[in-house]
Structure 1
C-alpha cells in the first residue's frame, strides 16, 4: 500500500485532510516506514473550497484514483449537501478496480451515496449515526465502534478515530513498527482500545466541584497500585457502592467494564515499561498485576499482535529525528 489518494472536494473538513497528509505524507525518514506517494485528487483539478474558508488546488484529477492502492475520503462539513456526481463515479470506478477505500468521520455519507456501503457495516461520528442509518437503511451502522471495515471498505468515527483508522491501515499493510513510528511523530497512541460509547453524552450527572467523584477516586487508586489483585467487589467497596451499582456507573462513565478498563491500563503500563525501562519482563508483569511473564503474554499478544519480548525488541530505543522517541502511554483515570 504505497500509493495513496486523498479525495478532496468542496466542503471537506480541513482536520481530516490534514490527518491524511500527516500519516501518508513525508514519513519515509521514520524507522520502518516505507516511502508513500500521496496524491491529492479532486474534480477536474479545480480549486476546492475546504471548510473554514481554506482552499486547495488538487494535484491530480479524479482519474488518478483508479491506480492507487488506497483512497481515503476525508469527513465533510455538511453530510447532507449534494456532491458532484463525478466524485461518486470515481469512487465506484476505483472500487471496481480493487482499490481499498476508507472514509473518515462523515465521509461515510459520501461512500454511502456512491452505493459502496449497501449491505456492509459502517460507522461515523456518534452524533451522525442515526442520520446515516435513516438515509441509508441498507447500511448496517455501528455507532459504538471507533472504526470498522470488511476487506476493501473502511469507515471511521469522528475526529481522532480517523487517526486510529489511518494507523490501522498502515499497520495492516506495513506492520506494527511503521504504524508506531508514524504515531510517535504525531504524538498519539498507535492503538486505542474501546469505542465511541465513552464519548457519547451520558445521562449520569457530572460531579460538581463540591462533590467528590468516587469513580475517579477508584481509578486513581487502582492506577497507583496495579499490582494489587483488584476485583469488581474490591473496587466497589472502595467506591462505597454495591457491585451492581458500581459496575453500571463505571460503564456509563467510561464506556467499558471495570475489569476491561483494568486490563487496558495494565497492558498500557506494560508497554511503557517495556519501552522505557530495563526491567526484566517478569518484573514488568508483576508490577502491572500479572503473576509472571507467562500470564502477561496471552493478553498482551492478543491486544498488540506481538508478545512482550518481541515488542521490546521492536520498540525499545527507537528514534525520531535522532532523538529517543519511546511512546508515552498516559494512564488516564
Structure 2
C-alpha cells in the first residue's frame, strides 16, 4: 500500500516532470477520500539533497519539505527529468544516487522521467533490466550504460518496482499505469479521463513489461501465457474455451479458475479488454462508424460492443472519439 511518496527535486530539472505526477497522485488521493478509503492517507513530499530550495529550468523555485537524509523509508520515489546533457548533473549528485539505490533495496518503487533515468542507471539498480530515456540521449545512454537493456522503441518500461518514461508526456502515461497497478483499472481510467482524454493509445499497451525470465510475461504460468497468446492471435474470433482448456491440459472449469487466478480476469473479460483497446485506436485514427469498428474487433452486436466499451472505458465509443479528437486542428 502506498504510504509515502518522495518527489525528488534537483537544480535545473524540468518542473513539469514532477508537478504532473504530483497532481495526478493528488487526484487519486482526493477520489479515495470521497469514498473514505484508508488508502487515501498517503504522505507526499518534495525532497532535495540539501535543505535549500532548488531552481527548476526557467528559474522556478521549488521548496523542499525534507532532505534525502531525512527520508530513510518511503513507498515511491519520483525522479525528475534533467535538462540537456545529464552527465554533468549526475556527477554532482553522488549522494542522491546512493539514496535512490538504498531506498530501492529497502523496498521502494522508483519512477523516473526522461534523462532522470540516468540517476537510476548510475546507481546500478537498472543493471540487467530494461529502461528507456529521452530519444535525444539514447545513443549516449547505450554507450554509458551497456549493462542496461535499453528499449529504444518503447516510451515506457517497467521491471518490477522500477518504472521509466522517455519524456514528460510519457511520464503522465506512466503514472496512469502505476495507478492501475496500485489501485485498479477503474480508478486509473477516472484519472486518465480527468487529465488526458486525448491519450492516443491505452497505457497498458505502451509499457514494456519485464520479468526475471525475460519473457515479457507478467506471470510464470506457461499454460495460461500460451492461452493469452492464442486469444490475442484470434482476437476477432469467438472464444473457444474448450480448445483453450485442452491446450492447457485442463478441464474447462479448471482452466477458467486458473486463468482468473493468474491474470485477475476471466478469459472473456481478457478478450473484451484486448478488443476494446484495439477499438480505441480505430476510434481515433479511422473514420469507421462505431458499429463497423465493433465488428472489426470481433463484436457482431454493436449494442453489446457499446455496453462493453462503456464498462471498460467509462464512456461510450462515441464520447471517447469526440474527446480524443477534440484537440485536433483541421484546415477545411
* TM-score (structure 1 length as normaliser): 0.62
1:91 aligns with 2:100: yes
Q: Is the 8 A contact 2:294 2:300 kept in 1?
A: no
1:157-236 alignment runs, 5 A limit: 157-188=166-197, 189=199, 191-192=202-203, 193=205
1:3 aligns with 2:1: no
Write the distance in 1 (CA, Å) between the matches of 2:101 and 2:298: 52
1:115-126 alignment runs, 5 A limit: 115-126=124-135
In structure 2, the partner of 1:154 is 163
In structure 2, the partner of 1:21 is 22
1:37 aligns with 2:37: no
Write the distance in 2 (CA, Å) between the matches of 1:23 and 1:47: 23
Q: Taking structure 1 as reference, are residues 65 and 148 closer, same or farther at Cα in structure 2, changes over 3 Å only?
A: farther
Please list every run of 5 or more consecutive structure 2 residues that lacks an aligned counterpart in the other structure: 209-275
2:128 is paired with a residue of what secondary structure? Answer: coil
Displacement of 1:38 after TM fit? 1.6
Please list every run of 5 or more consecutive structure 1 residues that lacks an aligned counterpart in the other structure: 197-262, 272-282, 297-306, 319-323
Q: CA RMSD in A?
A: 3.7
Q: Is the 8 A contact 2:47 2:65 kept in 1?
A: yes
Q: Taking structure 1 as reference, are residues 41 and 310 closer, same or farther at Cα in structure 2, changes over 3 Å only?
A: farther
Q: Is the 8 A contact 1:7 1:73 kept in 2?
A: yes
Displacement of 1:23 after TM fit? 1.5
Q: Deviation string for 1:183-210 (max 9, x for gaps)?
A: 22213438355699xxxxxxxxxxxxxx
* TM-score (structure 2 length as normaliser): 0.62
Write the distance in 2 (CA, Å) between the matches of 1:42 and 1:72: 12
Q: Taking structure 1 as reference, are residues 57 and 92 closer, same or farther at Cα in structure 2, changes over 3 Å only?
A: same
Q: Deviation string for 1:221-258 (max 9, x for gaps)?
A: xxxxxxxxxxxxxxxxxxxxxxxxxxxxxxxxxxxxxx
2:19 is paired with a residue of what secondary structure? Answer: helix
Displacement of 1:317 after TM fit? 6.5
Length, aligned pairs only: 242
In structure 2, the partner of 1:329 is 324
Q: Deviation string for 1:149-168 (max 9, x for gaps)?
A: 21111211122111111111
Instruction: Select the residue among 280, 304, 313 that pairs with 1:267.
Output: 280
Write the distance in 1 (CA, Å) between the matches of 2:156 and 2:301: 29
Write the distance in 2 (CA, Å) between the matches of 1:126 and 1:267: 26
Q: Is the 8 A contact 2:295 2:301 kept in 1?
A: no
Displacement of 1:107 after TM fit? 0.8
Q: Is the 8 A contact 1:144 1:195 kept in 2?
A: no
In structure 2, the partner of 1:62 is 68
Write the distance in 1 (CA, Å) between the matches of 2:298 and 2:152: 37
Q: Taking structure 1 as reference, are residues 287 and 165 closer, same or farther at Cα in structure 2, changes over 3 Å only?
A: closer
In structure 1, the partner of 2:143 is 134
Q: Is the 8 A contact 2:279 2:297 kept in 1?
A: no
Q: Is the 8 A contact 1:286 1:292 kept in 2?
A: no
In structure 2, the partner of 1:312 is 310
In structure 1, the partner of 2:87 is 80
1:67 is paired with a residue of what secondary structure? Answer: coil
Displacement of 1:330 after TM fit? 2.9
Q: Taking structure 1 as reference, are residues 86 and 184 closer, same or farther at Cα in structure 2, changes over 3 Å only?
A: same
1:178 is paired with a residue of what secondary structure? Answer: helix
